[in-house]
Amino acid sequence: MDNQEKSSLEQRLQNGVYGTPKINPDEQRRYLGTFRERVCLTISNAQIKERSWTTAVETELKKGVVTQVFINGNLPDQLTHPYVQVIAQAGGNFTLKTDPQFKTDPDRLALVMAADDAVYQSPIDVAKRYPVPAAAQDQPAPQLSWWQRLFKKGGQE
């Protein structure tokens, strides 16, 4: 047996004992099992708790680039269910990732929208790609003077 056959045999034995080695395992853990170059949009665990991003998910699905959505299945159902509904209504594919390696820490990802091939999109963070308009943010309503309130149309307060 020559060295090439021996190393091939050793590699097969290693794969049989330890499993096939993964390419960029940390990157795949970060992006719920896919590679960064395939990612179109991400929503972190903190962001999914802050507000609803279903409109952004719907918009990305309509673009036709996203072929798979990975959802952190370790999160509570009330956080992920609206996204599952949006994806299902759009006819998209999703996978719930429940492996313990997918954590629920605020900086980890709750949802990853990906393509089958490399798309190299940037930014991929939902808050950067779909910023909340200033008018929609919680700002106090302007205070009207007593004169403005007195002559307000319709007598509404």
Range of the domain at 119: 37-131
**pLDDT of the residue at 154:** 47
**Complete DSSP assignment for 8-32:** HHHHHHHHHHH-PPPSSHHHHHHTT
User: What is each CA distance from 51 to 45, 48, 74, 80, 81, in whole angstroms?
Assistant: 11, 6, 18, 12, 14
What's the token pair of residue 36? 């960064």
pLDDT at site 156 = 47
What pLDDT sits at residue 149?
Answer: 65
Q: What is the pTM of this model?
A: 0.73
Please give the residue that has the higher pLDDT: either 88 or 149. Answer: 88
Asked, for residue 90, whether it belongs to a domain, the answer is yes
Q: Is residue 122 part of a domain?
A: yes
- In angstroms, the CA 75 to CA 55 distance is 20
Q: Per the domain annotation, does 3 fall within a domain?
A: no
Look up the CATH number of the domain holding residue 111. Answer: 3.30.1330.30
Instruction: Establish if 56 belongs to a structural domain.
Output: yes
What's the pLDDT tens digit per position in 108-132? 999 999 999 999 999 999 999 999 8
When pLDDT is cut at 50, 70 and 90, the band that residue 86 belongs to is: very high
Is residue 87 included in any domain, yes or no? yes
| Position 102 in a domain | yes
Tell me, yes or no, whether 155 lies in a domain. Answer: no
What value does the mean pLDDT of the chain take?
Answer: 86
Identify any residues that bridge with 113 across adjacent strands, giving them in sequence order: 41, 69
> Could you tell me if residue 107 is inside a domain?
yes
Residue 155 — very low, low, confident or very high, per pLDDT cuts 50/70/90?
very low
